[in-house]
């Protein structure tokens, strides 16, 4: 039942919504729609948003084989290739204005990772070797400009001088390095390795997986640390429930791509412990709470957290055979249908909903971070995994 439901959500709701945001005058897709569904055609266009849109249409084409999706992917690709890449200093910009000129020329490892992820998937969908070459260019930019003796640094100015990592710091804390950046490098390098099988990419992917295992993962609590200083000493006491459950299936996918049986077994065991922990401490009234900071639980429900938990719990079931994980996935999907999917004409999913089931009307429907990547990917993962319930 869930497969038919998510396929309908993908084809009849998510794809048509984002397709209407295509900007044929200035390129790319419009960058902002408020909660009131007013579209701002002159809003800045996030590069993360556009990478995620490129990935979305590319993977939707691979999943559904609808040629029209490849046309939308090409439209997003051309905007990224022509406008978002800094061909002088390397990397991609952080933010473009509505005409495609740089509005913020910061370089960020997390941002570049999403471009690599998207370009690699677009190559798989289209066979365009220029897209693959661009993915490798950005891979080299990351490897040549961001590494220190401990791992990947994150925030830079246009010429690769370190700047404050405000973009990925939250909760009033300052983090030089984050679990989030490592996780999405894993995601990006996995996609690049699937696309081309390059052994250097595999080597760096294993390095990132080992950082997650040896630095980020806490065996005593079966949780992932979130924020670090430059030497990977912990900053703050935060547990991000959504990132934990997302990380489980992305790390398993990386190990599957690498084809190392010992690695697959080791990470599967670790990821099942993380998934069980999230099931036990974060699932409440049928949906996932957001995070814990010190002793305080943030119980708001965030669109991407709920989407990733559906995939993560299905993945945990596939690795364990424990049907309780399917029950968790089912309950979250029911919550998404009732509370997260916006039933208003011309809308998509709410960004956030309170524990009391009230949408947060100060959160946008489309923005630099609000995209078709998490919810669209959830639909495509459910379809491709073939676990129906």
CATH number of the domain at 362, please: 1.50.10.10
Q: What is the pLDDT of residue 14?
A: 98
Q: What is the pLDDT of residue 33?
A: 98
Name the average pLDDT for the chain: 98
What percent of the chain shows pLDDT beyond 70?
Answer: 100
Instruction: Supply the range of the domain harboring residue 65.
Output: 2-385
Distance CA 309, CA 315 (A): 10
Average pLDDT value for residue range 14-34: 98
Q: Which residues contact 131 (CB under 8 A, 6 or more apart)?
A: 77, 81, 119, 120, 122, 123
Q: What is the pLDDT of residue 101?
A: 98
pLDDT band at 201 (very low <50, low <70, confident <90, very high): very high
Average pLDDT value for residue range 270-288: 98
pLDDT tens-place string over residues 159-196: 999 999 999 998 899 999 999 999 999 999 999 999 99
Distance CA 182, CA 2 (A): 31
pLDDT band at 47 (very low <50, low <70, confident <90, very high): very high
Contact call for residues 242 and 290 (beta carbons, < 8 A) = yes
Closest CA to 69 of 84, 80, 54, 83: 54
Contact call for residues 41 and 33 (beta carbons, < 8 A) = no
Average pLDDT value for residue range 20-38: 98
Q: What is the pLDDT of residue 184?
A: 98
Average pLDDT value for residue range 120-149: 98
What percent of the chain shows pLDDT beyond 90?
Answer: 99
How many structural domains compose the chain? Answer: 1
Q: What is the pLDDT of residue 138?
A: 98
pLDDT tens-place string over residues 291-343: 999 999 999 999 999 999 999 999 999 999 999 999 999 999 999 999 999 99
| Three-class HEC string of the chain | CHHHHHHHHHHHHHHHHHHCCECCCCCCECCEECCCCCEECCCCEEHHHHHHHHHHHHHHHHHHCCHHHHHHHHHHHHHHHHHHECCCCCCECCEECCCCCEEECCEEHHHHHHHHHHHHHHHHHHCCHHHHHHHHHHHHHHHHHCECCCCECCEECCCCCECCCHHHCCCCCCCCEEHHHHHHHHHHHHHHHHHHCCHHHHHHHHHHHHHHHHHHEECCCCEECCEECCCCCECCCEEEHHHHHHHHHHHHHHHHHHCCHHHHHHHHHHHHHHHHHHHHHCEECCEECCEEECCEEECCEEHHHHHHHHHHHHHHHHHHCCHHHHHHHHHHHHHHHHHHECCCCCCCECCEECCCCCECCCCCCECCCCCCHHHHHHHHHHHHHCCCC
Q: What is the pLDDT of residue 43?
A: 98
pLDDT tens-place string over residues 231-278: 999 999 999 999 999 999 999 999 999 999 999 999 999 999 999 999
Q: Which tokens belong to 328? A: 């968790």
Contact call for residues 232 and 215 (beta carbons, < 8 A) = yes
């Amino acid at each position: 039942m869930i497969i038919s439901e998510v396929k309908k959500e993908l084809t009849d709701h998510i794809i048509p919504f984002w397709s209407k945001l295509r900007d044929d005058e200035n390129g790319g897709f419009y960058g902002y729609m408020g909660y009131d569904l007013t579209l701002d055609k002159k809003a800045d266009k996030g590069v993360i948003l556009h990478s995620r849109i490129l990935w979305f249409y590319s993977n939707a084409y691979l999943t559904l084989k609808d040629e029209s999706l490849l046309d939308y992917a090409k439209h997003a690709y051309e905007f990224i290739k022509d406008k978002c890449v800094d061909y002088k200093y390397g990397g991609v910009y952080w933010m473009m204005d509505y005409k495609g000129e740089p509005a913020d020329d910061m370089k960020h490892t997390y941002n570049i990772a999403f471009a690599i992820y998207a370009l690699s998937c677009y190559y798989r969908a289209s066979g365009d070797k220029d897209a693959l070459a661009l993915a490798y260019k950005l891979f080299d930019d990351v490897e040549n400009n961001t590494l220190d003796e401990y791992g990947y640094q994150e925030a830079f100015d246009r010429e690769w001088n370190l700047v404050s990592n405000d973009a990925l710091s939250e909760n009033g804390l300052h983090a030089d390095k984050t679990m989030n950046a490592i996780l999405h490098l894993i995601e990006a390098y996995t996609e690049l390795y699937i696309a081309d099988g390059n052994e250097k990419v595999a080597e760096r992917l294993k390095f990132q997986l080992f950082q997650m295992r040896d630095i980020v993962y806490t065996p005593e609590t079966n949780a992932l640390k979130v924020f670090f200083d430059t030497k990977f000493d912990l900053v703050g006491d935060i547990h991000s429930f959504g990132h934990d459950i997302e990380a489980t299936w992305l790390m398993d996918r990386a190990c599957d791509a690498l084809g190392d049986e010992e690695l697959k077994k080791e990470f599967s065991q670790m990821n099942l412990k993380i998934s069980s922990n999230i099931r036990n401490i974060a699932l409440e009234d049928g949906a996932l709470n957001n995070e814990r900071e010190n002793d305080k639980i943030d119980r708001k429900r965030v669109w991407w957290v709920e989407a990733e938990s559906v995939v993560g719990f299905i993945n945990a079931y596939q690795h364990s055979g424990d049907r309780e994980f399917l029950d968790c996935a089912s309950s979250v999907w029911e919550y998404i249908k009732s509370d997260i999917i916006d039933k208003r004409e011309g809308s998509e999913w709410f960004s956030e909903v309170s524990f009391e089931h009230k949408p947060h009307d100060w959160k946008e429907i489309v923005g630099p971070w609000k995209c078709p990547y998490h919810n669209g990917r959830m639909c495509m993962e459910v379809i491709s995994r073939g676990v129906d319930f």
